[in-house]
Amino acid sequence: MQGIVDWAARMKQMAEFVGLTQTELELIQSTAAVLVPHAEALTAAIYDHFLLFPETRKFFLREDGEVDQDRITRRKHSLKRWLENTIQYQVDGDFPVFLLTAALVHSHPPSHRAHLGSVPSRFMVGTISFVQTAIAQLLFQEMDDPQKAMMASLAWSKLLMVQLDILLAGYVDEVPIQPRSQQEA
């Protein structure tokens, strides 16, 4: 990326762009009681899904070709932490840097895994879609009020799209969007 990016401001811009409101962030926070008890199952489902496809499975294999269970356990822990942090997310703070770090690790592998190359960006998009669907299913299964489950699902979808912008930033170089207040000036 050219120049210095104010990642918190960028997330605020994207939140405004997708229409994510403070009320929706509060609704997302209220889903903690529904989602956190399922965090282990959700992360397991995501990594089980990765292992089904050779293009993503390769990132979780040891040199002998067997699945690296220790690596998957560590990644599940990181994904669970991401879920918990996302639930508590505010449109400011250090969270954008947390996401950007994840983006850079996926788009620029460490030297000991450089032979595998970057995780293709399409799998970052696909993973967000997988998570989006899994969260929506959990909300509809576990919440008593279908209207509230729908509103929570929509709020999660918006927040995940805001995060996807940062997750893809490790892959692309572009000028960030300008807030409406600056465009009109």
Q: What's the average model confidence in pLDDT over 7-22?
A: 92
Other beta carbons within 10 angstroms of residue 91's beta carbon come to 20
Could you tell me if residue 18 is inside a domain? Answer: yes
Q: At 67, phi and psi to the nearest 5?
A: -65, 130
Q: How far is residue 84's CA from residue 48's CA, in Å, rounded to a whole number?
A: 20
Q: What percent of the chain has pLDDT over 70?
A: 85
The per-residue pLDDT for range 143-163, each reduced to its tens digit, is: 999 999 999 999 999 999 999
CATH code, domain with 133: 1.10.490.10
Task: Please report how many Cα atoms fall inside a 13 Å half-sphere around the Cα of residue 88, on the Cβ side.
Answer: 9
Q: Which domain holds residue 58?
A: 9-177
DSSP-assigned letters across all residues of 99-164: HHHHHHHHHS--GGGGGG-PPPHHHHHHHHHHHHHHHHHHHHHH-S-HHHHHHHHHHHHHHHHHHH
- The tally of domains found in the chain comes to 1
The per-residue pLDDT for range 62-94, each reduced to its tens digit, is: 989 999 999 999 999 989 988 988 888 766 668
The per-residue pLDDT for range 34-72, each reduced to its tens digit, is: 999 999 999 999 999 999 999 999 999 998 999 999 999
Could you tell me if residue 185 is inside a domain? Answer: no
Q: Specify the pLDDT at position 170.
A: 77
Could you tell me if residue 183 is inside a domain? Answer: no
Could you tell me if residue 182 is inside a domain? Answer: no
